[in-house]
Structure 1
Amino acid sequence: MKIAVISDIHGNIYALMKTFEDIDLQKVDLTICLGDLVGYGPHPNEVIALIKRRDIPCLKGNYDASVVDGDFTFIRNNSVNSFALPWASNEVRTSNKYYLSSLPTFLDYDINGVKIKFTHGSPNTINEYLYEDKENTKNIMENLKEDILVCGHTHIPSYKKFNNKLFINPGSVGKPKIGRPNITYAILNIDENKNVDVKFRELEYDYQKIVKDAKMLNFPNSLVASYESGTE
């Protein structure tokens, strides 16, 4: 079975459309979204509409939860978020806030006998950062009941084996932190013999479109520049 995993779209409709174009070419059996549909980018409602139209199983991200709350519940209170959070909370339609609030915080799948847990941050909380070389990640992987943990939130693609467990992060569709303005997502292929193959896809897209839209809406310069640099 072939699964595409996307995460951290953050209101970037152009990146999401490009991602789905590529996913369609890869002929996957299932696409799963790890959350953070909104926040930062200028097209949160359009992103939600496209995810719903494709009937994508989706998790609640920390920015999704904070936009619903209208407060810095699960995100950092910094200069960019002091603009981006109230903007998104005001922009996201009430019906879409209801959709975001109804999303689960984890999904469990058993595929060909391989058990997979999908989360946004960590199995403990939606806003915990799991980096492959950090102690908290090691502790979580040691106690993981499933065979694979797939999480987002860091915006950095990762793959690491912890003994007989796999740790996977697909990176970010709409707000990369890889030093390039490119989309990243992951494809997991699990065969009938429980063999797991993981590939990362990195895609270029016309990021100048979102730069133009953000400038027209008077987004902060640092936020606009992050789409060009692929940094936070």
Structure 2
Amino acid sequence: MKIALFSDIHANLPALGAFFQDIEKTKPDAIYCLGDLVGYNIWPNEVINEIRKRGIPTIAGNYDFGVGRTSDDCGCAYKTDEDKAMGSQSISYTNQIVGIEERKYLRTLPAHIQLEYQLDEEKLFVLMVHGSPRKINEYLFEDRDEKSMMRIMDAPNADIMFFGHTHKPYHRVFEYEKDGKTAYRHAVNLGSIGKPKDGDVRGCYIMLTLDENSSKFNKESIKVEFIRVEYDVEKAAKAVEDSILPNAYADMLRKAY
């Protein structure tokens, strides 16, 4: 089984369109979205409706949570006054243009999705969150202490945990003992489809491959592939510049920071 997971579109319709074109080639058996459909660009309604019409199971990102409730706080934990000011412009603009039905959709998105697979008489638990299982806007960066990550994954009993929010993709594997055997937990950050921050302007999504032999006791049996997708970055950047949004968001798209 091939499962595609993507996150953090942030109203970037050209990037989302390129993603949908790409999955026509990769042909996953299932698709999941880990939130932050809106914010930072001009197409929140179009992005929401492209995902809705495909019936893609989707969880709420921090931006979706805020806009769904017409809040002026996106929960982004900006570090500088400049970032806070730009963030305020972004969520204010999004709140002004998002539609009634689209807002209702955002407000009803679940906080997480958990799947239980029974493969070769063994259970495998997959957890999907936006920031972390503890908080929608918690940042789980790649340098997070291993003991901390294990505690975060242990509480919901996640063998594989997928998340976004940082816009920086990575895959870490943690070893531990279970029932007298060596077992493994996989923590996977999806990166971002519409607002990458890792220096690569292309959108990023994940393809998870499982089969009847996939097991927490065999780390090689769980395959995670990062797929990068080219899109019309300039179209998305120009849309920002032609709107009342800060031009800095266009620069971020062009340089992926």
Give the TM bin, normalised by the shorter chain. over 0.9
Deviates more, 1:121-130 or 1:133-142: 133-142
How far off its partner does 1:138 sit? 4.2
Note if contact 1:131-1:137 (Cα within 8 Å) is conserved in structure 2: no
Instruction: Give SS of 1:228's match.
Output: helix
Residue 75 (str. 1) matches residue 76 (str. 2): yes
Instruction: Give SS of 1:46's match.
Output: helix
Q: How far apart in 2 are the matches of 1:6 and 1:41?
A: 18
Provide the residue aligned with 1:132 in structure 2. Answer: 142
Note if contact 1:13-1:43 (Cα within 8 Å) is conserved in structure 2: yes
From 150, 164, 167, give the equivalent of 2:162.
150
Q: How far apart in 2 are the matches of 1:25 and 1:73?
A: 34
- Counterpart of 2:31, as a letter, is T
How far off its partner does 1:170 sit? 1.1
Q: How far apart in 2 are the matches of 1:154 and 1:137?
A: 15
Provide the residue aligned with 1:39 in structure 2. Answer: 39
From 178, 183, 192, give the equivalent of 2:198.
178
Provide the residue aligned with 2:18 in structure 1. Answer: 18
Note if contact 1:44-1:88 (Cα within 8 Å) is conserved in structure 2: yes
Cα displacement string for residues 204-223 of structure 1 (whole angstroms, at most 9, x for unaligned residues)? 21111111211111321211
Provide the residue aligned with 1:200 in structure 2. Answer: 226
How far off its partner does 1:76 sit? 3.3
Q: How far apart in 2 are the matches of 1:216 and 1:130?
A: 33
Q: How far apart in 2 are the matches of 1:149 and 1:92?
A: 30
Q: How far apart in 2 are the matches of 1:73 and 1:17?
A: 25
- Counterpart of 1:123, as a letter, is P
Q: How far apart in 1 are the matches of 2:74 and 2:232?
A: 33
- Counterpart of 1:137, as a letter, is M
Cα displacement string for residues 79-128 of structure 1 (whole angstroms, at most 9, x for unaligned residues)? 22011010001111111111001000000112334210000010011000
Structure 1 unaligned runs (5+)? none
Provide the residue aligned with 1:86 in structure 2. Answer: 92
Provide the residue aligned with 2:179 in structure 1. Answer: none
Provide the residue aligned with 1:95 in structure 2. Answer: 101
Residue 191 (str. 1) matches residue 230 (str. 2): no
Note if contact 1:181-1:227 (Cα within 8 Å) is conserved in structure 2: yes
Note if contact 1:141-1:162 (Cα within 8 Å) is conserved in structure 2: no
How far off its partner does 1:196 sit? 1.0
- Counterpart of 1:74, as a letter, is G
Residue 28 (str. 1) matches residue 28 (str. 2): yes
Instruction: Give SS of 2:226's match.
Output: strand
Deviates more, 1:215-224 or 1:30-39: 215-224
How far off its partner does 1:142 sit? 4.5
Deviates more, 1:46-55 or 1:137-146: 137-146
Q: How far apart in 1 are the matches of 2:18 and 2:173?
A: 30
How many aligned positions are there? 231
How well do the aligned residues superpose, as a CA RMSD in angstroms?
Answer: 1.4
Q: How far apart in 2 are the matches of 1:205 and 1:75?
A: 25
Query: TM-score, with normalisation over the residues of structure 2?
Result: 0.86
Note if contact 2:68-2:105 (Cα within 8 Å) is conserved in structure 1: no
Cα displacement string for residues 46-93 of structure 1 (whole angstroms, at most 9, x for unaligned residues)? 000100011100000001111123221522361220110100011111
Instruction: Give SS of 2:227's match.
Output: strand
From 164, 185, 201, give the equivalent of 1:165.
185
Query: TM-score, with normalisation over the residues of structure 1?
Result: 0.95
Q: How far apart in 2 are the matches of 1:73 and 1:25?
A: 34
From 123, 129, 132, give the equivalent of 2:133.
123
Cα displacement string for residues 157-211 of structure 1 (whole angstroms, at most 9, x for unaligned residues)? 1100011111011110000001121101100000111121110001221111111
Residue 109 (str. 1) matches residue 115 (str. 2): yes
Higher CA-based Rg: 2
- Counterpart of 1:132, as a letter, is E
